[in-house]
Amino acid sequence: MANMSLICLFLMIALLFVNVSEAEEEIRVYELKNREFSVKITNYGATVLSVILPDKHGKFNDVVLGYDSIEGYKNDSTYFGALVGRVANRIGGAHFTLHGIQYKLPANDGNNTLHGGFRGFSDVIWTMKSYKKDSHITLTYNSVDGEEGFPGDLSVMVTYMLIERNKLAIKMEAKSLNKATPVNLASHTYWNLGGHNSGDILSHTIQLFASKITPVNDELIPTGEIATVKGTPYDFLHPRSIRSKFNDLPSGYDINYVLDSSSNKHLKKVAVVEEGKSGRKMELWSNQPGVQFYTSNMLKDTKGKGGYVYSKYGAFCLETQGFPDSVNHPNFPSQIVNPGETYKHVMVYRFTAD
């Protein structure tokens, strides 16, 4: 009997190593490519690894920050290129109440929950459902009831697709299977249109189609107020350089903008960003109510692609999203998805160079 017990133990250990090995083997890198640009994506965190675009002279550069290997992403605390969820951004106090039940979440950002907790969607292996190099890739993930404290089983899908010659679209969907749950997915790509290794982004010109913001406290949790940007450093209704109001806001930008309504029934214009030296321009549309504008204020001495060291203000993020901490602010647009309902989030980028 003792020998049988030992054999069973050894078999269990062997199976454990096999499973770990298989999990490692499941991580893949996929490329989407046409004549104008290419995008690399991994199923680890459904992460954007690179976006290679021509400048006005036809020279190609990678315009997103990241690492040389998948190992870098596994140890990452910046969320480079990641698809974050179940709930992106912050949940104040790491808790919320839904239908009379209080849910306690892991506090991985001081007293608060950030980007889904310690092991959010950016730290799991997604399953490749469909892939065509010149067209699209679709990845899926099944999040179980209680994962990182969130209620209900959730079926999640993201599709990255090339459209026409110079557009990249991201379509995120999540279906609640058995319990009401908050859902707020976001693409956390760090952009530098001069090239990932070209220095800071302070000279980039940006226009944001948003007249209001959701002010935050010193822990970056919304106060519940919705305030106008008029007369403040947050006003980017007309194009200006990112650095132009840094004297009034020396810590940089990390705030949710309330996107203005649009005559387009499906997508709102979110932003236009231009970089003068390369001539690259990025335009963004989405169906979401908000966008987090972040100037990588907390980026510090991070060794990235090709050994280049990324520093503060080395990139900007435009994370279209529902409002942060909406589960604790009834006046914010609801992010609750009920059983049988499907959350849908669309982003469309257009890249040009003149």
**14 phi/psi in degrees, rounded to 5:** -60, -45
- For residue 113, what is the enclosing H or E element? strand 113-114
pLDDT higher than threshold 80 for residue 264: no
21-60: pLDDT as tens digits: 334 459 999 999 998 899 999 999 999 999 999 999 999 9
Ligand-binding site membership of 90 (annotated) = yes
pLDDT-based confidence at residue 294 (cuts at 50, 70, 90):
very high
Rounded Cα–Cα distance for residues 168 and 351 (Å) = 8
Ligand-binding site membership of 89 (annotated) = yes
Span 183-206, average pLDDT: 98
Span 177-196, average pLDDT: 98
Ligand-binding site membership of 189 (annotated) = yes
Ligand-binding site membership of 166 (annotated) = no
**256 phi/psi in degrees, rounded to 5:** -90, 125
pTM: 0.91
pLDDT higher than threshold 80 for residue 220: yes
Closest by Cα among 82, 54, 76 to 317? 82
Span 330-354, average pLDDT: 97
pLDDT higher than threshold 70 for residue 325: yes
User: Left if phi > 0, otherwise alpha if psi is -120 to 50, otherwise beta: which for 218?
Assistant: alpha
Rounded Cα–Cα distance for residues 175 and 200 (Å) = 39
Calculate ∠ Cα 324-327-331, nearest 5°.
85
pLDDT-based confidence at residue 75 (cuts at 50, 70, 90):
confident
pLDDT higher than threshold 50 for residue 13: no
Span 239-265, average pLDDT: 92
102-121: pLDDT as tens digits: 999 999 999 999 999 999 99
Q: Which of 188, 196, 204, 345 is catalytic?
A: 188
Three-state secondary structure readout of 24-53? HHCCCEEEEECCCCEEEEECECCEEEEEEE
Closest by Cα among 152, 149, 154 to 180? 152
Q: Which of 173, 319, 329, 345 is catalytic?
A: 319
**pLDDT score for 9:** 42
Query: What's CA 137's distance to the chain center, in Å?
Result: 17
Closest by Cα among 264, 259, 254, 262 to 292? 254
Q: Among this protein's residues, is 57 annotated catalytic?
A: no
**pLDDT score for 44:** 98
pLDDT-based confidence at residue 157 (cuts at 50, 70, 90):
very high
| Residue 146: both structure tokens together | 């209680």
Q: Among this protein's residues, is 136 annotated catalytic?
A: no
Whether omega for the bond prior to residue 86 falls within 30 degrees of 0, making it cis, is yes
| Residue 184: both structure tokens together | 């707020």
Ligand-binding site membership of 320 (annotated) = no
